[in-house]
C-alpha cells in the first residue's frame, strides 16, 4: 500500500484559536480542508514519523469520518502505530492520559468542546504534544504557517478500519490498536482519589447526587467510575448516552446551559451534590444543595484542601490560574507559602509550568480545573476531587465554601458574555479600551480608584516565550478588577467576554448574590467599554 500524493491548495483560515482549530462542520467537509490541517501537523512535527500517535475525539458528528481520514494519512506519513479509542472516542483528559501513559509522540484530539455538535454545528481538531498537553503557541503557529503554503497531502487507499472492535490491525505499514477509551483514565482516577471513602459516602443513605454528562463524551467514563467502580446507584449519571449532536443541546456545564441539573439541587428536597461536564469532558460544574460553586472558588478550595486526597497528600508545590480567573487561588497560595502564576487564557499555557514541576494545580474561570496528573483540564477529576473532600470533611458543599470564605475572604466573581456580535465592532471596542489604558491609573471610576490598567502580556517563566495582547485588565485598589477579551473558540462573529471581580473580607457580606455585589463594577465596565453603543446589546447573552 503505497502512499498517494494528493495535490491541494492552501486555505487561509486555519490558524488555531484558544484550543485548536474550530469551525462549522460544513467548513471541515470541504474537500481537503481537514486533510490540509492534518498534513500540516505531520509536516511540522517530524518526530511523528516512526512513532506512536494517539487519536480520539468527543464523539460529535464528523468524529468517525475524520478519524478514518487521519488514520489513512498517518499510515501514509509513516507513523508506526496509532492508538485510537474505540468508536473514535477519547475524552480530552483521557487522550492526555493515554498520550502520557504509553509515552507516545503526541495525539490528535477531535473536539469543539462545549460548542454544539451536529451537521450544522461545530467540529474541531487540535494537536497535543508528547507531554500530553495542547501544543504551545510556537507549535500551533508553525502548523498554521504550514497550512498557508501547503501544496500536497499524503494518504493511502484502504478500506475503513473497524473502530468498534478492540484489538490490533494493520493499515499499510502502520499498526492500529483500538483501545478501551475509559480503562486507563479510570485507573488513573483510582490512583488519585479515595474510592472506598467515596463509596461510604454514597452508601450512607444521607447523600444524593447526580452527574449530568449532557449526552456528551463523559457518559461512559462517569458510569464506569461513579457507578461501576465506586458503587453509586444506577441512574446517578444522567444523559449518559453520548450522541453525535449532544441531543441538540449546548454541552456547556454552566448555569445557563445546565438548568435541568441546577433545578434538581434546589428546594428543601434538592440534591446534596450535582456536577456536569462538557462536550469533550474537560470542564466541570460543581453544585451543592441550593449552592453553585464558582469555578474560580473551586480551584481555591481544592488548593486549600488538596492534602485530603490521597494523590495530593504531600501538599501542592504551586498553583496557576488564567488571567481572567478570580484571585481567590492567589490568597490560598499566599497562606500556604507556595508560588502562584497568572497565565493567558487557554490550557496550553499551563503545560510548561506543570512539566517543570512548578505547579500542581491549575484552573480557569471557564469551568476548567486540573492538575499535573495529565496536561488537560479534567472534568471528572474535579468531580471526584470534590467527592473526596465531601467524604473526608463530612460537610456540605455550601459549608465547605463558606468556611473557605471566612478564612480567605470571598472574591465575588461573574463573567458576562456578549455572543455572536459583529467581529469588527468587537475588535474596535477592544482597541478603544487599549487607547484608554494609559490615562486610567490614578483615576476614580464611581467608588473605585484605578490602580493599574494594561493589556496583559505573559512571559513564560520556563522557556521565556512571550504572548502579548491577552486581554485588557483594569485593577482597582482593594483587589477588584474588570477584564475584557474576545473569545478564541467561537465559529460565528465574535464574543466579548467581560470578567468582573471584587474582594470582600467581611463574612457578614459573604451571602450576597454576586450580580448584586458586583453591580457597581458591572456598570462601570459597560460604560467604559461603551458596550451598548458599540455592540447594540444592553444585556449579556450568558452570565456565568
Q: Does residue 481 interact with ligand VG1 by CB under 6 A?
A: no
Q: Does residue 378 interact with Co ion by CB under 5 A?
A: no
Q: From ligand VG1, Co ion, none, which one binds at residue 19 (CB under 5 to 8 Å depending on kind)?
A: ligand VG1
Find the binding residues for Co ion in span 138-167 (CB under 5 A): none
Residue 138, SS3 per DSSP = helix
Find the binding residues for ligand VG1 in span 253-282 (CB under 6 A): 278, 282
Taking phi over 0 as left and psi of -120 to 50 as alpha, with beta for the rest, 464 belongs to: left
CA distance 468 to 143: 20
Q: At what angle do helices 63-76 and 33-44 cross, to 10 degrees?
A: 40
Q: Which of 147, 284, 343, 366 binds ligand VG1 (CB under 6 A)?
A: 366
Q: From Co ion, ligand VG1, none, which one binds at residue 497 (CB under 5 to 8 Å depending on kind)?
A: ligand VG1
**Quick one: which segment of 67-75, 224-232, 263-271, 344-352 binds ligand VG1 (CB under 6 A)?**
344-352
Q: How far is CA 71 from the centre of its chain?
A: 26
* Contact between 55 and 67 (Cβ < 8 Å): yes
Quick one: 215 or 283, whose CB is closer to Co ion? 283
By DSSP bridging, strand 107-110 and strand 52-57 are parallel
Identify which of 475, 418, 296 has the alpha carbon closest to the alpha carbon of residue 368.
296
Find the binding residues for ligand VG1 in span 8-67 (CB under 6 A): 18-19
Residue where the block lists cell 502520557: 100
Identify which of 482, 436, 431 has the alpha carbon closest to the alpha carbon of residue 323.
482
Q: Does residue 252 interact with Co ion by CB under 5 A?
A: no
Q: From Co ion, ligand VG1, none, which one binds at residue 153 (CB under 5 to 8 Å depending on kind)?
A: none
Q: From ligand VG1, Co ion, none, which one binds at residue 409 (CB under 5 to 8 Å depending on kind)?
A: none
CA distance 118 to 407: 46
Closest approach of ligand VG1 to the CB of residue 128, in Å: 12
Based on the number of CB atoms within 10 Å of its own CB, is 134 exposed (0-12), middle (13-18) or buried (19 or more)?
Answer: buried
Q: Does residue 330 interact with Co ion by CB under 5 A?
A: no
HEC string for 349-408: HHHHHHHCCCCCEEEECCCEEEECCCCCCCHHHHHHHHHHHHHHHCCCHHHHHHHHHHHH
Identify which of 297, 298, 253 has the alpha carbon closest to the alpha carbon of residue 277.
253
CA distance 405 to 386: 17
**Quick one: which segment of 50-58, 238-246, 345-353, 447-455 binds ligand VG1 (CB under 6 A)?**
345-353
- Listed in sequence order, the DSSP H helices in 77-157 are 92-101, 137-147
Please give the sequence-ordered ranges of beta strands (E in DSSP) within 161-239, or none if there are none. Answer: 167-171, 174-179, 209-212, 237-238
Would you please indicate which residues are annotated as catalytic (active-site) residues?
113
Q: Does residue 365 interact with Co ion by CB under 5 A?
A: no
Quick one: 63 or 113, whose CB is closer to Co ion? 113
Q: Which of 77, 96, 113, 491 binds ligand VG1 (CB under 6 A)?
A: 113
Q: Does residue 104 interact with ligand VG1 by CB under 6 A?
A: no
Q: From Co ion, ligand VG1, none, which one binds at residue 347 (CB under 5 to 8 Å depending on kind)?
A: ligand VG1
Q: Write down how long the chain is.
A: 544
Q: How many residues bind Co ion (CB under 5 A)?
A: 5
Q: From ligand VG1, Co ion, none, which one binds at residue 366 (CB under 5 to 8 Å depending on kind)?
A: ligand VG1
Q: How many residues bind ligand VG1 (CB under 6 A)?
A: 18
Q: From ligand VG1, Co ion, none, which one binds at residue 388 (CB under 5 to 8 Å depending on kind)?
A: none
Closest approach of ligand VG1 to the CB of residue 326, in Å: 13
Q: What are phi and psi of 306, to 5 degrees?
A: -55, -40
Q: Which of 184, 227, 282, 417 binds Co ion (CB under 5 A)?
A: 282
Quick one: 243 or 445, whose CB is closer to Co ion? 243
The C-alpha cell at 284 is 466541570
Residues 80-119, mask of contacts with Co ion (x by CB under 5 A): ---------------------------------x------
Closest approach of Co ion to the CB of residue 375, in Å: 14
Under DSSP, the state recorded for 17 is B
Using CB positions, name the residue nearest to ligand VG1. Answer: 113
CA distance 468 to 301: 30
Quick one: 218 or 345, whose CB is closer to ligand VG1? 345
Distance of CA 348 to CAs 241, 259, 363, Å? 29, 30, 12
Q: Which of 67, 480, 489, 491 binds ligand VG1 (CB under 6 A)?
A: 489
Q: Does residue 388 interact with ligand VG1 by CB under 6 A?
A: no
Q: Does residue 330 interact with ligand VG1 by CB under 6 A?
A: no
CA distance 404 to 410: 8
The residues binding Co ion (CB under 5 A) are 113, 278, 280, 282-283
Which residues would be at the binding site for ligand VG1 (CB under 6 A)?
18-19, 113-114, 278, 282-283, 322, 345-347, 364, 366, 368, 487-489, 497
Amino acid at each position: 500500500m503505497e502512499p498517494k500524493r494528493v495535490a491541494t491548495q492552501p486555505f487561509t483560515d486555519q490558524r488555531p484559536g484558544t484550543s485548536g482549530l474550530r469551525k462549522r462542520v460544513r467548513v471541515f467537509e470541504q474537500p481537503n480542508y481537514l486533510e490540509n490541517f492534518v498534513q500540516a501537523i505531520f509536516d511540522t512535527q517530524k518526530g511523528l514519523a516512526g512513532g506512536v500517535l494517539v487519536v480520539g475525539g468527543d464523539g460529535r458528528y464528523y468524529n468517525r469520518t475524520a478519524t478514518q481520514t487521519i488514520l489513512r494519512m498517518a499510515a501514509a506519513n509513516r507513523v508506526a502505530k496509532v492508538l485510537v479509542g474505540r468508536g473514535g472516542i477519547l475524552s480530552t483528559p483521557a487522550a492526555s492520559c493515554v498520550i502520557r501513559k504509553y509515552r507516545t509522540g503526541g495525539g490528535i484530539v477531535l473536539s469543539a468542546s462545549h460548542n454544539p455538535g451536529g451537521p450544522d454545528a461545530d467540529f474541531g481538531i487540535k494537536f497535543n504534544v508528547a507531554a500530553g498537553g495542547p501544543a504551545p503557541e510556537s507549535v500551533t503557529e508553525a502548523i498554521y504557517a504550514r497550512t498557508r503554503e501547503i501544496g500536497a497531502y499524503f494518504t493511502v487507499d484502504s478500506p475503513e478500519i473497524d473502530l468498534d472492535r478492540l484489538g490490533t490491525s494493520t493499515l499499510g505499514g502502520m499498526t492500529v490498536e483500538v483501545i478501551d477509551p475509559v480503562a486507563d483514565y479510570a485507573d488513573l482516577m483510582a490512583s488519585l482519589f479515595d474510592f472506598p471513602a467515596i463509596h461510604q459516602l454514597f452508601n450512607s443513605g444521607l447523600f444524593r447526587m447526580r452527574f449530568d454528562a449532557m449526552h456528551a463524551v463523559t457518559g461512559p467514563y462517569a458510569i464506569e467510575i461513579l457507578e461501576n467502580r465506586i458503587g453509586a446507584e444506577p441512574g446517578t449519571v444522567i444523559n449518559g448516552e453520548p450522541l453525535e449532536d449532544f441531543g441538540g443541546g449546548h454541552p456547556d456545564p454552566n448555569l445557563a446551559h445546565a438548568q435541568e441539573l441546577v433545578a434538581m439541587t434546589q428546594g428543601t428536597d434538592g440534591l446534596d451534590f450535582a456536577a456536569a461536564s462538557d462536550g469533550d469532558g474537560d470542564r466541570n460544574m460543581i453544585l451543592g444543595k441550593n449552592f453553585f460553586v464558582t469555578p474560580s472558588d473551586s480551584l481555591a478550595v481544592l488548593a486549600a484542601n488538596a492534602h485530603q486526597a490521597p494523590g495530593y497528600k504531600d501538599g501542592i508545590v504551586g498553583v496557576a490560574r488564567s488571567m481572567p480567573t478570580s484571585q481567590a487561588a492567589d490568597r490560598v497560595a499566599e497562606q500556604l507559602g507556595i508560588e502562584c502564576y497568572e497565565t493567558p487564557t487557554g490550557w496550553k499555557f499551563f503545560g510548561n509550568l506543570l512539566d517543570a514541576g512548578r505547579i500542581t494545580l491549575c484552573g480557569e474561570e471557564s469551568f476548567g480545573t486540573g492538575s499535573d496528573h495529565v496536561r488537560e483540564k479534567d472534568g471528572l477529576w474535579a468531580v471526584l476531587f470534590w467527592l473526596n473532600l465531601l467524604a473526608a470533611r463530612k460537610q456540605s458543599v455550601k459549608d465547605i465554601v463558606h468556611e473557605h470564605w471566612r478564612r480567605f475572604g470571598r472574591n465575588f466573581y461573574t463573567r458576562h458574555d456578549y455572543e455572536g456580535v459583529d467581529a469588527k465592532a468587537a475588535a474596535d471596542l477592544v482597541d478603544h479600551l487599549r487607547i484608554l489604558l494609559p490615562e486610567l491609573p490614578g483615576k476614580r471610576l464611581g467608588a473605585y480608584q484605578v490602580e493599574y490598567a494594561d493589556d496583559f502580556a505573559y512571559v513564560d517563566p520556563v522557556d521565556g516565550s512571550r504572548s502579548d495582547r491577552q486581554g485588557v485588565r483594569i485593577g482597582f485598589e482593594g483587589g477588584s478588577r474588570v477584564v475584557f477579551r474576545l473569545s478564541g473558540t467561537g465559529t460565528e462573529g465574535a464574543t466579548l467576554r467581560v470578567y468582573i471581580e471584587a474582594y470582600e473580607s467581611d463574612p457578614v457580606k459573604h451571602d450576597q448574590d454576586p450580580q448584586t455585589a458586583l453591580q457597581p463594577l458591572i456598570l462601570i465596565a459597560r460604560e467604559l467599554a461603551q458596550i451598548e453603543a458599540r455592540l447594540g446589546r444592553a444585556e449579556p447573552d450568558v452570565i456565568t
